[in-house]
Amino acid sequence: MIYILYQLLHAVIGLYLVVLVVHVVISWLYAFDVISRRNEFVSAVWRFTTALTEPVLRPLRRIIPPIAGVDLSVLILMLALILIRDSVLPWLVLVLRGGPVL
């Protein structure tokens, strides 16, 4: 049961990382005027990614101010999620299963 929860959390975090990358790429494409905001598909993807990322990024943006106009909150969130997914979750599984903790 613990392994199933581990796999589920690992997959959810991985999918959230993909959503963050898509959000960043679309924001760059908007910023450099590569795509139009009138494109319905891109606009729908943008609204979807914004709805998923903004509740998490908003508190981070209050703590981490933009540096030279660059929003680093996305980078910090991605690094934290990768750390949780690749280090904390496997350690937690070992602890909960009673295995050796290195």
What pLDDT digit, counting tens, does each position of 42-56 carry?
999 999 999 999 999
- Rounded-to-integer distance, Cα 40 and Cα 45, Å: 9
Nearest of 79, 78, 74 to residue 27 by alpha carbon: 74
**How many independent structural domains does the chain possess?**
1
Please state the φ and ψ torsions of residue 67, each to the nearest 5 degrees.
-110, 115
Any domain includes 86: yes
Any domain includes 88: yes
List helix spans (H) across 1-102: 2-31, 40-63, 73-83, 89-97
Q: What pLDDT was estimated at residue 2?
A: 86
Any domain includes 101: no
The mean predicted confidence, pLDDT, of the chain is 92
Residue 73 has pLDDT above 80, yes or no: yes
Residue 57 has pLDDT above 90, yes or no: yes
Structural domain range at position 90: 2-96
Q: Global pTM?
A: 0.89
